A and B are shown apart, each in its own frame.
Chain A
Amino acid sequence: MLIKMDSKSSNNKTSRRDFINKSLRISAGITLGGLGIFLAKDASSEDLVWQLDPKKCIQCGRCVTNCVLTPSAVKCVHVFDMCGYCDLCGGFFKPGTKKLTTAAENQLCPTAAIQRKFIEDPFFEYQIDEDLCIGCGKCVAGCGAFGNGSLQLQVQHDLCVNCNECAIARHCPAEAFSRVPASNNSLFKGFSGHEI
């Protein structure tokens, strides 16, 4: 008799538990689906990537050390369309350089990542060796102060691992980092960019 009662009550219990489980499951499913649809309405179909806005950048040099990658995914990019091909390049030479030669002591870049090439009198072309560039922005500051501002820092997307939250963005004092659509992934100052 006791056993019979026991089994009956436990049957009741399981069916009640099943019912509660089922209703909870359905309501959880509806909530989740609703949330998904609500968010999907405003979502962007393409991925977002991090980019640095040179208009806000103050060349503080934090990009060098705060990126999760070593060396940083932020590199200096040369916007040739803006370059004046100056002999006395504010981005290449240290201020107060006497002789305009490529001697190491004259170069502003700590890793000698800028290559200076004679084109024709009086023009010189400057190219950046990305493998050497550490993204310190010293040349960017120099070119911005004395030249056209054709040297600009940018996140290089082939290197960037696109962290969910950019570690440099967290430390950027100028709030220059933002998420941009993957199809429109570069930000320049005074230049609208090329279609590649």
Chain B
Amino acid sequence: MRYSRTKGYIIEIVLLFTILLSFQTMDVQAQRFPKPEFESGHVQPDTQIALPRSDILEYFDVFVLIVALSVVSWLVLKKRSRRGVFWVSIFSILYFGFYREGCVCSVGSLQNIALALFNPGYKIPLTVIAFFVIPLIFSLFFGRVFCAGVCPLGAIQDIFAWKPMQMKSWLQKLLGLIPYIYFGLAILYAATSTDFIICRYDPFIGIYRLDADFLMFLLGGIFLLTSIFIARPYCRFFCPYGVLLNLFSRVSKNHMTITPSKCIQCKLCENSCPFGAIEEPNMVKIKEPRKNTVRRFLVFTAIIPALIIVGVYVGSQFHQNLAMVHPKVRLAQNIMDLKNNPEIQEDSEYIEPLEIEAFRSAGKSDQQLFTEAKEIIGDFHTGGMILGGFLGLVFGLTLASLSVFKYRTDYEPNKGECFSCARCMDYCPIEEKVGSSE
């Protein structure tokens, strides 16, 4: 009894002391040891915090992006100069790459957009919106000029394309489906505020930063070595932002052409494209019988919805695996395991994970965590179904596009896949302004 009363007094005194202290030093919290008053006239130094990069510079980056895109558009469409595009690539590697260290790039901004759309707590900076929207607007007007020489990730692979090989077109189509999967996963993980997987597995940022962990350097090295033989492997078979650029570029207003005036079918440009984006003339003289086309149409109207349904089903089956990437879900799983098997803790080799330690010290209840984790898993259920359905649609449409033949008289770039790098132009023997003098 006596003991507890004295303890109570002490607490009271301490409390009084703290209140007094807090009045004395407005913004400094209660301290165990009061701030000294120096007799020797010593002046206490200021706490220094370094300032981040100025906002004006962030807006300057947007300005540089617009200028670079305009210059490439002019070089590709008007000047028709591969050399010019090459020098812009070098500039992008130096500025967006080594100087800006590749962050925030348009490719990664996709995730910021998804996060901002689904998570109202995240206030997306205007500059990031600009980095996302501007290259897409340019691709609506001029094709994928962003890929040609502005994107630092593309530019570094482009200058490594020394001995490009032609790829079998079926393989190219098949690998070309990976970006859609990557795109869907990136949006799913960004929208559920789990992770930015594009940034996490960005292969070149470590090179630009001249500092990275082993996995990053390994990825970057593999991609650069591959790009000697298979030109721009990341852009063609992984880039998730390329999915959008591809779709937008297909309907672009002005796209670069191989020949400045009229194609004479000399076939000189046939193998000039390192990316396999040149389409050969396809002069189908005999029309397909109507019966065949109708049957094909019916088959695809059955196959595509079937693929979507399969996708939705598969997505809903795998939603828990997808959700395990989320740290909160993983933590809930760990705590649940501990509750079910408390004997794990008694093992002498058991070390409590830091996550659990941090969670305990934050003072939230297990139940709260479980409800939150359940909600996240619910989001992944919906997201997984949408992702599956989307992929089913993409696979179905790709399958359908394989059986459609477009009537084409000339060698033309595939507007979706062409990076507007302007290499093929050098192979065209037609001089400019011939025939355009009329």
Contact = CB atoms under 8 A, between A and B. Distances in A.
Are A and B subunits of one complex?
Answer: yes
Interface string B125-139: 111010001001100
B275 to A, nearest CB: 22
Interface stretch (B3-11, B31-39, B338-346): B31-39
B29 interface: yes
Contacts of A191: 27-29, 47
Contacts of B30: 190
Given A32-B133, A56-B362, A69-B211, A148 B49 contact: no
Contact of B104 (A24, A125, A164): A164
Contacts of A13: 407
A139 B116 CA distance: 37
A62 interface: yes
Interface in A164-196: 164-165, 167, 170, 173-175, 179, 182, 185-186, 189-194, 196
Interface string A58-87: 101010000011100000011111111110
Contacts of B129: 36, 39-40, 43
Given A80-B46, A158-B51, A47 B125 contact: yes
B195 A170 contact: yes
Given A29-B137, A80-B47, A123 B407 contact: no
A44 B49 contact: no
A165 B199 contact: yes
Contacts of B359: 173
Interface stretch (B145-153, B158-166, B248-256): B248-256
B45 interface: yes
Interface in A145-171: 147-148, 154, 156-165, 167, 170
A164 B78 CA distance: 36
Contacts of A22: 251
B175 interface: no
Given A13-B407, A36-B133, A157 B354 contact: no
A16 interface: no
B42 interface: yes
**Helix, strand, loop or mixed for chain A's interface?**
loop
B29 A82 contact: yes
B379 interface: no
B120 A42 contact: yes
Nearest to B283: A6
A163 B200 CA distance: 10
B111 interface: yes
Contact of B47 (A24, A28, A81, A170): A81
Interface stretch (B52-60, B85-93, B288-296, B301-309): B52-60
B365 interface: no
The listed residue with most A CB atoms (<10 A of its CB), out of B101, B125, B137, B407, is B125
B52 A157 contact: yes
Contacts, number: 200
Given A84-B31, A119-B42, A194-B46, A162 B103 contact: yes
Given A62-B354, A120-B39, A25 B252 contact: yes
A49 B38 CA distance: 37
B358 interface: yes
Interface residues of B, number: 74
A173 B354 contact: yes
A21 interface: yes
Contacts of B253: 25
B200 A165 contact: yes
A24 B251 contact: yes
A106 interface: no
B432 interface: no
A131 interface: no
A45 interface: yes
B35 to A, nearest CB: 7
A119 B113 contact: no
B212 interface: yes
Contacts of A44: 123-126
B357 interface: yes
A173 B357 contact: yes
Contacts of A46: 55, 125
A39 B124 contact: yes
B101 A161 contact: yes
- Which 6 A-B residue pairs are closest in the complex by CB-CB distance? A84-B33, A190-B29, A158-B50, A165-B196, A157-B52, A174-B358
9 contacts: A39-B117, A43-B125, A43-B126, A69-B211, A84-B32, A157-B50, A158-B51, A182-B52, A191-B47
Interface of B: 25, 27-36, 38-40, 42, 44-53, 55, 58, 101, 103-104, 108-109, 111-113, 116-117, 120, 122-127, 129, 133, 136-137, 140, 195-196, 199-200, 206, 209, 211-213, 247-248, 251-253, 285, 327, 353-355, 357-359, 361-362, 407
